[in-house]
Structure 1
Amino acid sequence: MLRKLTFPVLLTLFALGMDSSAQAELKMSPVFGDSMVLQRDQPVRVWGWTTAGHEVTVAIAGHEATATADEEGRFEVLLDALPAGGPHEMTIAADESRTFTDVLVGEVWVCSGQSNMQWSLGQSNDADLEALTAKYPNLRLITVPTIAAQTPKNDFNGSWKACTPKTVKDFSGVGYLFGRQLHETLDVPVGLIDNAWGGSAAEAWVPQDVLAADGKYEDLLKRWQRTIENYNYEEEVAKWNERVAKWEADGKQGPKPRKPNDQLQGNHRPGNLYNGVLHPIIGYTIRGTIWYQGESNAGRAYQYRDLFPLMIETWRKDWRQGDFSFYWVQLADFMNERTEPSDSAWAELREAQTMTMSKLPNTGEAVIINLGEASDIHPKNKQDVAKRLARWALAKDYGYTDLAYHSPTYASHEVQGDKIVVTFDHVGGGLDTFDVNELRGFTIAGDDKAFVNANAKILGKDKVQVRAESVTNPVSVRYGWADNPITNVQSKEGLPVTPFRTDDWEGVTANNR
């Protein structure tokens, strides 16, 4: 006989049903998944979302940790440090359970910046040969798609993949070649996370509130506020459609008009990339970051002196992993060579990059002033770029202290009559020249600030004497101070001298904010 259910019983069952349907699905950032690489020898942070108040247990390789999801459903655990190895399974048990397979433990690096970091292996030198040999099952790759956001995103469309001739072609060339060098040298698994975005400006990688609180970026933020208030993307698209229609009516002469990008959803707006492509991975335990960016900020190079360190400090603070290693590529030589000294925004940006090493710990700069291409902002020699970054990591993070890694840098200078003698640090086996014995790239000026090309010669191991007949009372020396300077001084190990100047005279970007 069927029993008639009373109203209280129905209400109880309805409530139970509501409770069941309210249970949240277990969600994780895609940076956690099958075939991922976890950082060795450091506590491993794992986070996700489930029902608020629910207990969550994460287990891997005999280690487990438990946490309770907060009122928003977010949980976070720190697993004990693991040695390199695998494959393992990681299980997350909450309202439901999920298991990630083929998990390796090794070295994890973020590959970030703008187009020269995003530039794929398939677009780099010897791409066909490089792809043929890219058979590294324990080298794992994941790419974060270029999605802009003004509020922090927690997920993205991506997954870890083993390195194969097929998967590597679209991955960052510098990133892969850097990771390959570490993988072959250390003989441990390596994981690479690529979130670079071509053309991006440094301010897009910093939250707006951080920029506002700093106080140095008022003009920048005001300009963006005016853009937000006045910019209409639909109107820009309508104008573009009109141009395309005219182009078609005129017989499609010349290239088709380029569709405009939405500035508000682009890679220059402050905070857009921090929220869209960085926030989903912030906190994932890493060894460090390699960075290649600066081209988009060259016109505001003096501002970059503060902005770049602020960006690094913000990442480190939000990552909650201390001062993890951060190595960048100094801008390459680019644009037309000039035979006479001139002002240069790119030189000032390089100077700002170099300054960052003295401001922050665990930082380093790969100097590539001899690897650029005058007519291409994307030099295709990514192999040597990656090697110079790898030297920093191997020497500073992995104990290969005998490796040359630091380009020679300006240390001091002394005026000696009509000459200036410059002393360098980090000269390795001593200063040397490439291609020809004559030193190229030095200019000299008196107090009139009029620079002329100078004659120079190496003195001993770490000094260069600079003079010019037309400058009898020299005040300043510059080296490699141009967009595309002609330079040839290096250490005997082949690392080029870092461009520098001995003066602090106001540059062409000093007032650009």
Structure 2
Amino acid sequence: MISLIPFPNLLETAMKILSAITFAACLVVSPNLMADLRVPHFFSDHMVLQRDGDAQLWGNASPNANVSIEFGEKDFSVQADAAGKWKTGIAAGPANSQGRVLKISSGGQTIEIKDVLVGEVWLASGQSNMAFTLGRVPEYAKMLQTIDLPGVRMFCAAPTAAAEPQDNIVGDWLLPNTQAGNSMSAVAFFFAKKLHEELGVPVGIIKTAWGGKPVETLTSRAALSALPETKVLVDRLMKQQKAFDPVAAKKSYDQRLKFFKVASKQWQEKGKASGKRRPKAPARPKWPTMTEGNPGVLYDGMIHPFVGYTIQGAIWYQGEANAKAGKVPYDVTLPLMIRDWRDRWGTDFAFEFVQLANFKKVETEPGNNDPWPLLQDRMRLILETTPNTGMAVINDVGAANDIHPQDKKTPGDRLAIWALAKTYGQDIVYSGPLFASSNQADGAIKVEFTAVGDGLKSRDGGSLNRFEIAGSDKVWHWADAKISGKSTVTVSSKKVADPAAVRYAWAANPEGVNLVNSDGLPTSVFRTDDWDDVGSAEASRRTVPARRAQ
């Protein structure tokens, strides 16, 4: 069994102080927390319970006390243990759009949670494109005037870094038809909206996203320590933690703050008029194990509080922070996190992710070695190798100069149709074409695809774009690609007599990609070769053999 890593006494003391401050603040917010009977903050008004099964509830009461629960004209009971902790599942029943009261009582104390619905519950996590709020979506301002979706709710967890697993987190259940709905995740909202409209049941989302953070920070350190490739990250963090000197860090910060104030004053007097940038304030010192982005820190603060809450699945939009040379391959780190979460929940729930959108300058030449398409392709491999996963391809969405595309409806809808098909059993086309196999013959390479619907086609009716072909010399050329069957594309080039490999959409911004299926869903990036690329951790330490034509 893997044990959690112990932390230095200094950090434990700090965490106790921080916990005391947080607890004191919570007393002001909720009188219920003053009593022995307590529940996590996200067990609150407007919450959604998972239908058709045991919805898990837990909290604290007096040691060995009996706890009674009333919901939907049904009564449940459980006894707290010697430490006062209790947990039980209640039969929430079928979907119900009528808000009801969930009443929890013990020792003469009662907590009433109002407007509780029963439906589908999904976790939504990742980095900035999942955190991207509904208020930033241009068309939402118009929707807000007429929207009527009381059956869509979202718990928006506060960005929380923690040094050890937390049992509680600050946040609120929000409704889209209120001003607070602006804070909802846009992708998760459109995902929930489509599920709600198609299934006719309430949908609750738990949003736990923080911009700019790698997948490793949302994975537990216990899981990371079990794999040699990621254990080095935890070991490095623990070494940094051991060497951290808070007194020296505070002294350095004070000195930098002093310089900043002087520079800021000078900017106010001179630099502002000259167009110079305003000086940036120094970051406050943090313990390494409390620094967001470090291994396990956001798992402890933002995922662990929800472990055990009954969910149908999770949606994920992340990868930008991992699309860098030298990183542990994404088809190692993301499956590790998925297994970690599933193990802790005790169920192989559905896990769906968004493939990265187009970004950066449009690449006009073949033979691109940007790490962006490499990570996108690793996502495709994860789809093949990790059970009960789904992938929304959005290489028809994006902006060269903005890593945060304004279009959040497309990824939300595509995640939803995958869930509708694979989780809820609807007979619909849910994926764009995916590479299946290839074979070389007569100076060309024939590529077979799955998920073609009624057949492959060009989105704009023109010639297929962004196919590349290379021979054994590993020099890439733009290819002639033609649909030669319901699920087949034949790829060739007059410049490559004996082709060895094909790539499609292999660029950070493959503008013009146009191979789609009968439902208009786009084809994922893919490659038939296994040649080293600059974007891989392995190739970052040696010369890249693949090259473009001169």
Instruction: Please point out which of 133, 139, 142 is paired with 2:146.
Output: 133
1:24 deviation in Å?
6.0
Given candidates 101, 107, 112, the residue that maps to 1:89 is: 101
Alignment pair present for 1:249 and 2:253: no
Give yes or no for contact 1:329–1:367 (8 Å, CA) kept in 2.
yes
Partners of 2:470 and 2:240 in 1: CA distance: 43
- Is it true that 1:444 corresponds to 2:469 in the alignment? yes
**Contact between 1:183 and 1:190, CA under 8 Å: does it hold in 2?**
yes
Q: Are 1:122 and 2:135 counterparts? A: yes
Match of 1:316 in 2: 342
- Match for 1:258 among 280, 285, 293? 280
Show CA shifts across 1:160-187 (max 9, x none): 2333141221211111111111112222
Deviates more, 1:376-385 or 1:25-34: 25-34
The 1:241–1:146 alpha-carbon spacing in structure 2 relative to 1, beyond 3 Å, is farther
Residues 237 and 219 from structure 1, CA distance in 2 versus in 1: closer, same or farther, beyond 3 angstroms?
A: farther
CA contact (8 A) 1:38 1:285 kept: yes
Residue 303 of structure 2 aligns with which residue? 278
Deviation sequence 1:180-200 (CA, Å, 0-9, x none): 111122221111111111111
Q: Is the 8 A contact 1:112 1:291 kept in 2?
A: yes
Q: Output the CA distance in 1 between the equivalents of 2:93 and 2:280.
A: 50
What are the superposed Cα offsets for residues 367-400 of structure 1, whole Å, 9 maximum, x if unpaired? 0011011100000001111111111111112222
Is the counterpart of residue 239 in structure 1 residue 256 in structure 2?
yes
CA distance in 2, matches of 1:303, 1:58: 46
Q: Quick one: distance in 2 between partners of 1:357 and 1:414?
A: 22
Name the aligned partner's letter for residue 314 of structure 1: D
Residue 81 of structure 1, CA deviation: 4.4
2:448 corresponds to 1:423: yes
Q: Distance in 1 between matches of 2:257 and 2:443?
A: 60
**Which residue in the other structure is 2:537 paired with?**
510
Worse-matched range after superposition: 443-452 or 229-238: 229-238
- Answering whether residue 61 of structure 2 is matched by residue 35 of structure 1, we say no
1:345 maps to 2:371? yes
Match of 1:5 in 2: none
Which consecutive residues of structure 1, in runs of 5 or more, have no partner in the other structure?
1-22
Paired residues of 2:358 and 2:395 also in contact (CA < 8 A): yes
2:175 pairs with 162, 177, 186, which one? 162
Match of 2:219 among 184, 200, 206: 206
- Equivalent in the alignment of 1:295: 320
| SS of equivalent residue, structure 1 residue 168 | helix
1:432 aligned to which of 457, 461, 465: 457
State the 1:67 CA deviation: 2.1
Aligned residue number for residue 372 of structure 1 = 398
Give the counterpart letter for 1:397 in structure 2. Answer: T
Residues 236 and 260 in structure 1, CA contact (< 8 A), matched pair in contact too: yes
Per the alignment, residue 198 of structure 2 pairs with 185
SS, match of residue 226 in structure 2: helix
CA RMSD of aligned residues (A): 2.0
1:211-248, Cα deviation, whole Å (9 max, x unpaired): 11222213323443454325865325642551452243
| CA distance, structure 2, for counterparts of residue 64 and residue 346 of structure 1 | 53
Structure 1 residues 316 and 121 mapped into 2: Cα distance closer, same or farther (>3 Å)?
Answer: same
Deviation at 1:68, TM superposition (A): 2.1
**Could you tell me whether the CA contact under 8 Å between 2:229 and 2:328 is conserved in 1?**
no
The DSSP-based 3-state class of the residue aligned with 2:373 is helix
Q: Distance in 2 between matches of 1:279 and 1:202?
A: 15
Note the C-alpha offset of 1:66.
Answer: 2.4
Of 499, 509, 515, which aligns to 1:489?
515
Instruction: Give, in whole Å, the separation in 1 of the partners of 2:95 and 2:361.
Output: 48
| C-alpha distance in structure 1 between counterparts of 2:357 and 2:520, whole Å | 16
With normalisation by structure 1, the TM-score equals 0.91
| Separation (CA, whole Å) in 2 of partners of 1:351 and 1:427 | 19
Q: Measure the CA separation in 1 of the matches of 2:483 and 2:309.
A: 47
| C-alpha separation in 2, matches of 1:289 and 1:449 | 39
User: Are 1:39 and 1:286, in contact at CA under 8 Å, matched by a contact in 2?
Assistant: yes
C-alpha separation in 2, matches of 1:406 and 1:241 = 56
- Could you list the structure 1 runs, at least 4 aligned residues long, displaced by more than 6 angstroms after superposition: none
Q: Structure 1 residues 223 and 134 mapped into 2: Cα distance closer, same or farther (>3 Å)?
A: farther
Q: Does the CA contact (< 8 Å) of 1:168 and 1:176 recur in 2?
A: no
Contact 1:153/1:279 (CA < 8 Å) preserved in 2?
yes
Distance 1:134 1:244, change over 3 A: farther
Structure 2 residue matching 1:405: 3-state secondary structure: coil
Q: CA deviation at 1:469?
A: 1.3
SS in 2 for 1:137: coil
Identity between Structure 1 and Structure 2 (%): 37
Which of the residues 216, 235, 259 maps onto 2:229?
A: 216
The 3-state SS of whatever aligns with 1:483 is coil
Q: Which has the larger radius of gyration?
A: 1
CA contact (8 A) 2:314 2:351 kept: yes
Among candidates 39, 56, 59, match of residue 67 of structure 2: 56
Find 2:481's aligned residue among 438, 441, 456.
Answer: 456
Secondary structure of the residue that 1:472 maps to in structure 2? coil
- TM-aligned CA distance change 1:242 to 1:113, over 3 Å: same
CA contact (8 A) 1:35 1:140 kept: yes
Q: Which one-letter code corresponds to 2:277 in the other structure?
A: P
Q: Higher mean Cα deviation, 105-114 or 49-58?
A: 49-58
Q: Which moved more, 1:173-182 or 1:122-131?
A: 122-131
Query: C-alpha separation between the residues in 2 aligned to 1:237 and 1:492?
Result: 62
Q: Please say which of residues 461-470 and 152-161 is displaced more in the overlay.
A: 152-161
Of 296-305 and 323-332, the range deviating more from structure 2? 296-305
Q: Deviations over 1:10-50 (max 9, x none)?
A: xxxxxxxxxxxxx9621111221122111111211001112
Provide TM-score, normalisation by structure 2. Answer: 0.85
Contact 2:263 2:279 in 1 (8 A): no
SS of equivalent residue, structure 2 residue 49? strand
Aligned length: 489
- Greater shift, 82-91 or 476-485, is seen at 82-91
Q: For the structure 1 residues 343 and 38, does the alpha-carbon distance in structure 2 shift closer, same or farther, using more than 3 Å as the test?
A: same
Partner letter of residue 379 of structure 1? P
Q: Please tell me whether residue 46 in structure 1 is matched to residue 57 in structure 2.
A: yes
Distance 1:240 1:226 in 2: 27
